[in-house]
Structure 1
Amino acid sequence: MKFTVKQIATLLGGEVAGNDELAITGLAKIEEGKSGDISFLSNLKYEPYLYTTQASAVIVDRSFEPKKPVITTLIFVENSYSAFTRLLEEYNRQQSLGRVGIEQPSYVGEGSRVGELSYQGAFSYIGKNCQIGKEVKIYPHAYVGNNVRIGDHTVIHAGARILDNCIIGQHCVIHPNAVIGSEGFGFAPQPDGTYKTIPQLGNVILEDFVNVGSNTTIDCATMGSTIIRKGAKLDNLIQIGHNVEIGKNTVIAAQTGVSGSTKIGDNCVIAGQVGFAGHLTIANGTKVGAQSGVGKSVEEEGTAINSSPAFGLKESMRSLAIFRRLPDLEQRLTKLEKKNEKS
């Protein structure tokens, strides 16, 4: 990457205070910046570094007013964090544009079509009758099964598996070793105590702008589709069961498990190590605290829940405060009982 400060400011809709002709060749944290780097200041805890950083330019909020002289060039924008994210996206796009074509050995099955400016890394596999969009990046050792559809500009990282009949939208990112479309956990108990496998005949649909973290598994539906809606972001090490639906722009942190047929609404925030029972409905905008166990549906939008079993956040925090005071409360109760006995 090599841009001038002026070009970056134009990209971000910002205003420059300083030398707008400086060349920018890298991105860095504000405390680690060196000549040629650009950084950002969003959290004012890091403001002292602004006055010592060697970075050539720093992106700051329009409302920011330096308390000391600043030697670096500043780019003023509406939201420095969002602007730097936009810059990271552009940097990533520039980096990935260099990967085009087919490395060998790799395989493309009969009837499959791959769009222009796409990349297929060494030892990658694309099955039969697949439709791969333009500028799709399929990295080494990735596997794409039969009858898969992948939209434009999607990235399938090394070792990821997209199994038969799955549909991946545009601008999605599947991180290393994620598995999309694995067989759902369906077994019917038999009179003799054994279990009979129930065939899982459905697929998985990822809508546009979905991110799936490393080692996350999304099971195919028994019938129909497991669906991850537009803009949802899944962290590493998440288990999504069969016939689950995850709403638009919902974010789920690592080590969360969602049991079969549960439907999580739009714009929910799920912290790490949360467990959802099956066949639940979780309302839009629900927030779930870390390590919560959700055993019943959430009907009211914007609800915050916590604990295991999960219940209202305020109630759970009050309960926790009381729980911590139990030894003291016990002593006080014992003293009162003894006082009553004497009287």
Structure 2
Amino acid sequence: MSAPGESMEGLTLEQIANRLGGELVGSGQVVVRRLRPLASATRADITFLNREKLRPLLAQTDAAAVILPESLRGSLPKSGNAIFTADPYLYYARLSQWFWALAQPAFEPGCHVTAQIDPAARVSPQARVDAFAVVEAGAEIAEGAHIGAGCFVGRDAVIGPGTVLHPRSSVAWGCRLGARCVLQSGAVVGSDGFGYARDASGAGVKIAQVGIAVLEDDVEVGANSTIDRGALDNTEIGTGVKIDNLVQIAHNVRIGAHTALAGCVGVSGSAEIGAYCFIGGGVGIAGHLSIVDGVVIGGMSLVSRSVRQPGMYTGAFPLDTHANWERNAATVRQLHQLRDRVRHLEQHIESLKSEPST
């Protein structure tokens, strides 16, 4: 039994270079069976080097081959085998997918006897539905889709080709997932948005959430993350968006293609995030604002206004000793007073400059 990400039969370096590209130096017939870090790789492994600070490990690693940046041409590991490429980390990512696919059991379509599938649901004969999953009336499960054990697919929901719902994830009524999406365990797509009006007594009156959530192709949603359905319009997640674990996406949010959100991000209702953005862990994004394409938000920042220019933004208060933090926090509370004093001094200096010299 092979370990996760390990291929019993392995791959030759020639096979890897032919499929993924790069310049192969050394023996193309060397067989590698898994990816490992530089420091712990063995003669059955291939590894990669993408940071200059790890360069001393190149001469020490026991790896059968190393994926190296083109800037290190002329440098080789002890094995004498290397693949040179413009981006070793990207190369590693693609190779990891290949090893992972080789280690997986063959996909076997069909529906488990304990799965509860409504007769009015449309499940492709080339899809798979595992034990104790529930598929309601009108739902569509496309070919190659895999509905894991204990999953829930609500009425009229659509699960696209090759999409995978890991055990105990849920897609609520009417929501749509495109091709090759992935929901990790505990993820929920289409939960009710948080919308309430207040009556005369101040009590909350629920607003029915009648929109849906739409995930385009190649979206990945981490464990226990939630994407709320829209209140009136839809919540829309663009192609290739990657969402980490424990992320909250509120109703009517729109996220552009290939944006990534790290763990514990919270996005409030009706916010719009552009394409190719990266939102660091623990970031809070207020509602009804917009962030343009190509923005990076540093971890633990609070975004309380729209971001209209691409670039990197950070709004977190740096960690410090408690005593220093108290002093700095006290100073921050007085910034407006200090600003007024500086303005007064500037005006006084200008007035002195304008006085005739004696």
- Specify the code of the residue in structure 2 equivalent to 1:250: T
In structure 2, what is the equivalent of residue 156 of structure 1? Answer: 165
In structure 2, what is the equivalent of residue 27 of structure 1? Answer: 35
- Cα distance in 2 between the residues matched to 1:156 and 1:69: 41
1:280 to 1:326, Cα distance in 2 relative to 1, 3 A:
closer
Deviations 1:145-180 (A, max 9, x none): 111112222221121111111110112111111110
Which one of 4, 19, 25 corresponds to residue 17 of structure 1?
A: 25
- Specify the code of the residue in structure 2 equivalent to 1:32: S
Which one of 229, 242, 264 corresponds to residue 233 of structure 1?
A: 242
2:172, 2:191 within 8 Å by CA — same for their partners in 1?
Answer: yes
- Cα distance in 1 between the residues matched to 2:228 and 2:251: 5
SS in structure 2 opposite 1:227?
strand
In structure 1, what is the equivalent of residue 205 of structure 2? Answer: 196
1:124, 1:143 within 8 Å by CA — same for their partners in 2?
Answer: yes
1:83 to 1:68, Cα distance in 2 relative to 1, 3 A:
closer
Whether 1:71 aligns to 2:54 is no
In structure 2, what is the equivalent of residue 49 of structure 1? Answer: 57
Structure 2 counterparts to residues 119-134 of structure 1, below 5 A = 119-134=128-143
- Cα distance in 1 between the residues matched to 2:117 and 2:297: 43
Which one of 1, 11, 14 corresponds to residue 3 of structure 1?
A: 11
Whether 1:59 aligns to 2:67 is yes
Structure 2 counterparts to residues 80-99 of structure 1, below 5 A = 80-96=88-104, 98-99=106-107
- Cα distance in 2 between the residues matched to 1:186 and 1:100: 42
Unaligned runs of 5+ in 1: 310-319, 328-343
Offset of residue 222 of structure 1: 0.9
- Cα distance in 1 between the residues matched to 2:302 and 2:182: 28
- Specify the code of the residue in structure 2 equivalent to 1:266: A
- Cα distance in 1 between the residues matched to 2:80 and 2:137: 55
- Cα distance in 1 between the residues matched to 2:125 and 2:69: 39
2:255, 2:272 within 8 Å by CA — same for their partners in 1?
Answer: yes
Deviations 1:265-318 (A, max 9, x none): 1222211211122111222222222222222222x2314333269xxxxxxxxx
1:87 to 1:115, Cα distance in 2 relative to 1, 3 A:
farther
1:120 to 1:55, Cα distance in 2 relative to 1, 3 A:
farther
In structure 2, what is the equivalent of residue 333 of structure 1? Answer: none
- Cα distance in 2 between the residues matched to 1:53 and 1:117: 44
Whether 1:285 aligns to 2:291 is no
RMSD of equivalent CA atoms? 2.5
In structure 1, what is the equivalent of residue 225 of structure 2? Answer: 216
1:134 to 1:91, Cα distance in 2 relative to 1, 3 A:
farther
Offset of residue 324 of structure 1: 8.9
- Cα distance in 2 between the residues matched to 1:308 and 1:71: 46
Deviations 1:194-232 (A, max 9, x none): 111111111100011111111111100011210011111
Which one of 132, 141, 144 corresponds to residue 135 of structure 1?
A: 144
Offset of residue 67 of structure 1: 4.8
Aligned residue pairs total 316
- Specify the code of the residue in structure 2 equivalent to 1:58: V
1:117, 1:134 within 8 Å by CA — same for their partners in 2?
Answer: yes
- Specify the code of the residue in structure 1 equivalent to 2:232: M
- Cα distance in 1 between the residues matched to 2:306 and 2:26: 55
Whether 1:274 aligns to 2:283 is yes
- When normalised by structure 2's length, the TM-score is 0.81
- Cα distance in 2 between the residues matched to 1:63 and 1:76: 9
- Specify the code of the residue in structure 2 equivalent to 1:48: P
Offset of residue 326 of structure 1: 6.2
SS in structure 1 opposite 2:47?
strand
1:95 to 1:296, Cα distance in 2 relative to 1, 3 A:
same
1:47 to 1:114, Cα distance in 2 relative to 1, 3 A:
farther
2:61, 2:77 within 8 Å by CA — same for their partners in 1?
Answer: no
Structure 2 counterparts to residues 91-110 of structure 1, below 5 A = 91-96=99-104, 98-101=106-109, 102-110=111-119
Identity, % of aligned pairs?
Answer: 34
Which one of 306, 310, 314 corresponds to residue 306 of structure 1?
A: 314
1:62, 1:77 within 8 Å by CA — same for their partners in 2?
Answer: yes
Offset of residue 244 of structure 1: 0.7
Unaligned runs of 5+ in 2: 1-6, 318-324, 333-358
- Specify the code of the residue in structure 2 equivalent to 1:159: R
In structure 1, what is the equivalent of residue 124 of structure 2? Answer: 115
- When normalised by structure 1's length, the TM-score is 0.84
Whether 1:249 aligns to 2:271 is no
